[in-house]
Amino acid sequence: MESTKQLLFIIPLFVVIVWQWVSLKLECDSLDNRMRFNSKIMLVKYEWRNSKVSYVDPLLGLHMIIVSLRSGVAITRALSAVGQVFPCGQGMWLCSVSNALLAGDTWHEAWSSTYTKQDNFELENKSKFTNRKNLDSSEILARWLMTSLKESWCYGSSPIPVLSALAQHYERNMANIARQESSRLSVRLLLPVGLCFLPSFICIGILPTVMSLMR
What is residue 65's predicted lDDT score, i.e. its pLDDT? 93
Confidence at 208, pLDDT banded by 50, 70, 90: confident
pLDDT tens digits along 157-177: 889 999 999 999 989 998 999
What is the pTM (predicted TM-score) of this model? 0.58
Confidence at 34, pLDDT banded by 50, 70, 90: low
In order, the DSSP letters of 117-162 are SGGG---TTS-TT--GGG-SPPHHHHHHHHHHSHHHHHH---SHHH
pLDDT tens digits along 104-146: 888 988 888 777 765 444 444 444 444 444 444 477 888 889 9
What is residue 87's predicted lDDT score, i.e. its pLDDT? 72
Structure letter (DSSP) for residue 206: I
- Is the pLDDT at 189 greater than 60? The verdict is yes
Report the alpha-carbon distance of residue 125 to residue 128 in Å, rounded. Answer: 9
pLDDT tens digits along 56-103: 788 888 999 999 999 989 999 999 988 888 876 677 888 889 989 999
What is residue 163's predicted lDDT score, i.e. its pLDDT? 93
Q: Contact 167/63 with Cβ under 8 angstroms?
A: yes
Mean pLDDT for the stretch of residues 33-48: 55
